Structure 1
């Protein structure tokens, strides 16, 4: 039995933050019913190339990343009949997830107050760019904008003045993804509380709040120091050496996490005296002497190929590794052993990283075709009503 079996989730979200949360719930065993607009569906179905499938059945790879394990029904809840149907579904749901603009669902009677009045046990999770209140509440929230406004881009990229210097976004939509993870966590916490009290919850999650929270040590650095940490490129603001170094054939990451590791590292480089030099003996000293030490390391590392250093660093227990492309990472022997590259229903997917008691927490079904589970609506409609809704285009 998977942990969330018996939990029904009504997913009105689209794009990434909400779908990422509900995909995690599906991996953990929840029944996730994705409600999509007839004829169009989730925007990300069309965010290709690349595409999976052919002709009218093709779907963007983007959609596949965030929707495994779900069932799809196509309902136009912009109509009163469609909204009424979704309200009936919400009355039987344990969780509802949506990421519409603040107040956007109220005109359909699908807001938290309306649905929780009818179903007090409902856990209703709203995901927005800036939250349900505050001066920016009405603004749309996009990951790129949130990375910029939330400080992440000020920390990412090369320093100003260096070739290619300037703020840079992360290579994946981390504000969306972290928000999805926070949402899934909050939903499960609310379900645990409901088991004790019988009452559901209204969850308010903002991408902007999450972006600030996930700055972690960098936000703490700013609060303590009273100034912006700035951009270190590929370096680390608090640890040295902790960055890429160019070997004779390719760059590798060397991540020396403590003084004991630095002593081993210096010996491997043939420079054991560095570990006894007061300028480099402690991490705090190395951070202060970054500009002197890093070029010295670069000079030595460049004399040998990557394999020479990686073999010796691994044997000594000094963290290091190659810089893989995505296809290389997915084909890495460790990724293969852990089964992270999967094929479900003929669809290539990245697997869930969750394992509980040795069992993988992977949803057993691939991302659904638009409206593929329309017959499920027979639970809330008799056959005649369902036929009328389909004929009217309310249900796809």
Structure 2
């Protein structure tokens, strides 16, 4: 077997998923997040939406984008976070001709994303068995709250519900010994985002397998499954020990000190991962003796005696401001940092240096500010080429490009209220 050809320069190399066609029938966050990632990697992602309404998140505001004259539009900020680089096609799948049109598109697609209730697409002939029959190469990714099987399969699933049911909230929030104790959800729809990431990985895995077998397959992805998998060390600690993890606020169950501490003007985070870091921290705090104290000298000892150590440290950390501590501790290679508000995040020099805030031209707002994709390829950089689309913005364009539908046929579909 000959070795793969090495391109002479990067200009010859395409985006990783260039040429891939993705039909995105999903709404809200988990599915659209996956669709956006696939689009960022070069796929042609067509977002299929309901005429006149579209994705639910289009109306999840305020805030809404403002137009070039400063007047509010109907485009919610929420929608902007998960629909970059896509084209919007409006089709009424409840109309027989609309369902038929989507089937024609699916016959041309490499990937289909959907997050309807289990069995919800069968009545339209858009379920996995129906589309597999017309396109055996199709990778069909179903995202639901609870999966295609099991007693909860018929239920609707939302991120907040899954954070509770899946155990995340049981280990998030102040401990029972503190004022304000109680389970707490994460401040973003983290289970949805993680499910979108798993979906993207699963799709790419299925595409790699298809390159060998020539056949697509069905991906059954559930928010609950993802949340349980993402319990990570908390789950493994329970499975190994039989002890149920408890809420500990910002403290870590097996590393000390690894939490927030008060300063003269706010709070900071210390994340001490080994005994050497702890020794340097103690010296910076003015208490080198703590590193020699048998109660604190090693991490297991610190975990056992956290109730003694943490109050002592809190008395020391309030003596300087957050900025002063961060400057001092960073100079001593002690992991630390501030607790930033989101405005401070985007003002941070490292965030700015990495280009994590970007903007794209928008037909109503002029430009729309967005968070950039964090993937950094050396040879095929992620290209953010188009803002989240207006509802139905690319309907005629997609039908012409994918199916060869001309203007007259497109107008007929509009007259019949199919698109």
TM-score range, shorter chain: over 0.9
Q: Which residue of 2 aligns with 1:13?
A: 26
Q: Which runs of 4+ in 1 moved over 4 A?
A: 54-57
Cα distance 1:323–1:56, how it changes in 2: closer, same or farther (>3 A)? closer
User: Which one of 27, 37, 43 corresponds to residue 56 of structure 2?
Assistant: 43
User: Does the Cα contact within 8 Å between 2:20 and 2:110 map onto a contact in 1?
Assistant: yes
Aligned to 1:384: 408
Conserved in 2, the CA contact under 8 Å of 1:154 and 1:168?
Answer: yes
Task: Report the 3-state secondary structure (helix = DSSP H, G, I; strand = E; otherwise coil) of the residue aligned with 2:37.
Answer: helix
Deviation of 1:308 after TM superposition, in Å, equals 2.1
1:356 to 363, 370, 377: 377
2: CA distance, partners of 1:132 / 1:362: 35
Please say if residues 28 and 363 of structure 1, whose CA atoms lie closer than 8 Å, have aligned partners that are also in contact. Answer: no
| TM-score for both structures, normalised by structure 2 | 0.92
Q: Distance in 2 between matches of 1:324 and 1:268?
A: 23
Distance (Å, rounded) in 2 between the aligned partners of 1:95 and 1:21: 11
Post-superposition Cα deviations, 1:331-380, rounded to whole Å, max 9, x if no partner, equal: 21111111100011111000000011165424211100000001121342
Give 1:393 shift.
1.6
**Equivalent in the alignment of 2:300:** 284
Please show how residues 1-396 of structure 1 align to structure 2 within 5 Å.
1-54=14-67, 57-345=73-361, 346-357=367-378, 360-375=381-396, 376-378=398-400, 379-380=402-403, 381-395=405-419
Quick one: structure 1 residues 318 and 96, their matched pair in 2 at CA, closer, same or farther if it must change by over 3 Å? Answer: same
Q: Secondary structure at the match of 2:252?
A: coil
In the TM superposition, residue 307 of structure 1 has moved relative to its aligned partner by: 2.1
In 1, the alpha carbon distance for the partners of 2:377 and 2:72 equals 39
What is the number of residues matched between the two proteins? Answer: 395
SS at match of 1:356: coil
CA-CA distance at 1:57 after TM superposition: 4.4
Is the 8 Å Cα contact of residues 64 and 73 (structure 2) preserved in structure 1?
no
Unmatched runs of 5 consecutive residues or more in structure 1: none
- Unpaired stretches in structure 2, ≥5 consecutive residues: 1-13, 362-366
For 2:341 and 2:97, the matched residues in 1 are separated by: 49
Contact 1:68/1:366, CA 8 A, preserved across alignment: yes
RMSD between aligned residues? 1.2
